[in-house]
Chain A
């Protein structure tokens, strides 16, 4: 079973920041938080990951709470191309061949 809980769907206006929450209250100390997204009829795309510090890359920012029980993915300036299902996944460190188990994700609709 997935170890994360996400809202089923969210809407966001184009050009605004999209904030996608994720609860992972049972996360263990050596587990990372990963975010992927899946645009319709395509394979999932890696977005970002983190352990306990906030992370930022060219796609998004990841904010992890101090107790690590929840996180938020931030798309700073959402565009129509960001419409997708976003998956928050908790798994072991990068050096392990842990399989990725997908939950139901959040369906993000970017509104023009």
Chain B
């Protein structure tokens, strides 16, 4: 089945630094990937849609200069949290669509827990 690998699974960084999170589709090509953020006890909130070879589409209220998304290949999308602050601490999750799959079609990564200190 389709596997999406997300790395790192957790990261602690100092306030003001930038953090890059990778999302890879391991056995399929994904022209579209999605990035979500989840705060404790809350649901997943869609941040942006990552399109291979073109600019990402951000949801309303998400700062594109703060959350840089790059989808340079059909198997890799990256999310960079720039100048991170404690309020950016959250659980970040990516998903990718495998057009080969009949069932559901979307596979999610295992998430990255970001803690900004």
Contact = CB atoms under 8 A, between A and B. Distances in A.
Interface centre among A49, A87, A97, A104 (most CB of B within 10 A): A97
Contacts of B105: 94
A48 B6 CA distance: 23
Residues of B in contact with A, size category: 20 to 34
A104 B93 CA distance: 16
Contacts, number: 56
A41 B103 contact: no
Interface residues of A, number: 24
Nearest to B32: A97
A38 to B, nearest CB: 8
Nearest to B4: A43
B43 A46 contact: no
B44 A102 contact: yes
Interface of A: 34, 36, 38, 41-46, 48-49, 57, 85, 87, 94-95, 97, 99-105
